[in-house]
Structure 1
Amino acid sequence: MVDKSEKYRWLVRLGFASRGVVYLLLGYLFLTATEHSRASQGPQGVFDYLQSVPGGTPILYLCALGMLGYALYRLSSLFFDAEHYGRDKKGIVQRLGHGASGVAHLVLAYTAFQFAQGGGQSSGGEDAQQATTTILSMDFGSLAVGVVGLCFLAAAIAQAGKAISGDFMQRVSPRAPDFTKYLGHAGFTARAVVFAVIGWSLIQSAWLASSSQVKTLGEAVSSLRDQGILFTLVAAGLLLFGVFSLVMARYRDVPDLGPDGIKPSYRS
């Protein structure tokens, strides 16, 4: 019989695998000239692509379950300090970032589930612009959008820091292949560029009080298409981040569930 901790670890590993599938296919769609329209929709474009290929529906259900597992994993870091970042300023910022990631992956889990059931979603860009328009219409709405933009810029700096330092390997098993670190360097660099573009688009929207500048993940990469080699490198970096995430599904150190069944703690 599989205990709760083992089930938890398998769910988290499925989450890393699901993240890997999304990023790998997103990079592939960007690098495939005929698939730019789907790629510009970001993860929703990936789910739409999976919906159209043989065997795509079971994969979508697994992605939905995996995204849910990954979301719970990140939220456990926020609420229970599952990753042991502590309660100092740096630890709190890291845990808040994990909480935001958890919420985002809950949305992705729901979206993947809808596609698996044969439904579809409106364009991610339209959703983002509608949400931004609503926020901008409120008191201090521009300030709120600007703050979110600054958070994305901060996240871009954090991603760049990981790409440079390689500290993402601290929670990876020493049994991981030697090329894992290089995959991480490329992937986190690409994410830093994308997050910076998204953050800047939000700051522009706040400054101009207009939602037309807001870019989603897919649109942020698409906006680099005229930059030639930069676009290709970022798209390839996202694909490599997908491969990195698939490696993490096997070799990432995942905390066990504690005796109370709620607070995870790392194995010694």
Structure 2
Amino acid sequence: MTQAELDQQLGRWARMGYGSRGVIYLVIGGLALLAALGERGGQTTSSKGAMLKILEQPFGNVLFFLLIIGLLGYSTWRAIQCFKDPDGHGSSGKGLAVRTGLLISAVAHTALAFWAAKLLIGAGSGGSLQNGGNGFLTTNLGQIALGIAGIAVIVTGFARIYKGATARFEKYMNIPSDKRRWARPVCQFGLIARGVVWLIIGWLLIKAAWLASGGEIGGTSEALAMLRDQSYGRWLLGIVAAGLFSFGIYCFLEAAYRRINCSIVDPGQNR
């Protein structure tokens, strides 16, 4: 296989990864929207919960396997983005921060894929999504690490909101002009909603650090539940849930129209 053929295969794998992430967010957003509407089967859940729901469907094992392959492809592309910098983020402080975030994303999605693979072959922990072994997080050093992580997540949340509000995602995508009219607001809505969820998760992490309650770390499911429990919670949950569903559509648009170059030499050419 030539280098060009390998790069083409990696590009297809990365697009499959964007699609897999889109499926997960469609499920998360759809279930949360049903919960906001008070419909049967609605619930607030996380990426793992969404994948478990997919596993319960007809041909769930096949769909689950395809999601695992896609997540590994997405992780590989994230690693390429970090180390080869095809988007031209550079080596400035801001650029290194973005590339570090891409590496963290690669690690997180790899971990999710391996969790799913273990579950598929029967070696996983079943439907348990609870955190275990978090004794370190209740120590002074663990609280500091958790607080720093919370601040980083909040910064990332604001970055997602900014990316959505300014439509900066368009510089990395080739969306056809006939689709841009509806695609742009959908993508913006999705990114902003996801940013809001990240802000809440960051707050939950800081709260856990402050209270030394490392065993109660919140994620997407807890963030959505927190929205639901507020005044006008069903409205808030419904809006954010619709936004997360829109983020799933955004992921599908990335799968179709994202510029993906796995063999770039000059990081500045895609700026």
TM-score of the superposition, structure 2-length normalised? Answer: 0.87
2:93: which partner in 1?
89
Comparing 177-186 and 195-204, the one that deviates more: 177-186
Structure 1 segments unaligned to the other structure (5+ residues): none
Residue 236 in structure 1 maps to residue 237 in structure 2: no
| Structure 1 residue 120 displacement after superposition | 4.9
Partner Cα distance (1:45, 1:265) in 2: 39
The change in CA–CA distance for 1:256 and 1:205 in structure 2 (over 3 A counts) is: closer
Residue 48 in structure 1 maps to residue 49 in structure 2: no
The change in CA–CA distance for 1:267 and 1:204 in structure 2 (over 3 A counts) is: closer
| Structure 1 residue 258 displacement after superposition | 4.8
Partner Cα distance (2:82, 2:90) in 1: 10
Partner Cα distance (1:150, 1:132) in 2: 19
Which residue among 18, 21, 24 is the counterpart of 1:22?
A: 24
Structure 2 segments unaligned to the other structure (5+ residues): none
Which residue among 13, 17, 36 is the counterpart of 2:15?
A: 13
2:208: which partner in 1?
205
Partner Cα distance (2:198, 2:134) in 1: 17
| Structure 1 residue 59 displacement after superposition | 1.4
1:135: which partner in 2?
137
Which residue among 186, 201, 219 is the counterpart of 1:216?
A: 219
Residue 40 of structure 2: SS of its match in structure 1? helix
Partner Cα distance (1:218, 1:96) in 2: 25
| Structure 1 residue 79 displacement after superposition | 2.2
CA contact (8 A) 1:142 1:209 kept: yes
The change in CA–CA distance for 1:142 and 1:249 in structure 2 (over 3 A counts) is: same
CA contact (8 A) 1:26 1:46 kept: yes
Q: Aligned AA for 1:245?
A: C
The change in CA–CA distance for 1:256 and 1:265 in structure 2 (over 3 A counts) is: farther
The change in CA–CA distance for 1:96 and 1:131 in structure 2 (over 3 A counts) is: farther
Q: Aligned AA for 1:207?
A: W
Which residue among 244, 247, 253 is the counterpart of 2:259?
A: 253
2:157: which partner in 1?
156
| Structure 1 residue 56 displacement after superposition | 1.7
Aligned-residue Cα RMSD (Å) equals 2.3
Partner Cα distance (1:174, 1:49) in 2: 31
Q: Aligned AA for 1:204?
A: K
2:199: which partner in 1?
196
**What does 1:164-175 correspond to in 2, within 5 Å?**
164-175=165-176
| Structure 1 residue 82 displacement after superposition | 3.0
**What does 1:102-113 correspond to in 2, within 5 Å?**
102-113=106-117
The change in CA–CA distance for 1:196 and 1:133 in structure 2 (over 3 A counts) is: farther
CA contact (8 A) 1:255 1:267 kept: no
Count of equivalent residues: 259
Partner Cα distance (1:223, 1:102) in 2: 27
CA contact (8 A) 2:14 2:74 kept: yes
The change in CA–CA distance for 1:109 and 1:143 in structure 2 (over 3 A counts) is: same
The change in CA–CA distance for 1:25 and 1:67 in structure 2 (over 3 A counts) is: same
Once the two structures are superposed, what CA deviation does each residue of 1:147-202 show, in whole Å capped at 9, x if it has no partner?
A: 00000110111011112111011111142622221111111111111111110011
1:31: which partner in 2?
33
Identity of aligned residues (%): 30
The change in CA–CA distance for 1:81 and 1:180 in structure 2 (over 3 A counts) is: same
CA contact (8 A) 1:48 1:120 kept: no
The change in CA–CA distance for 1:84 and 1:248 in structure 2 (over 3 A counts) is: same
Q: Aligned AA for 1:156?
A: G
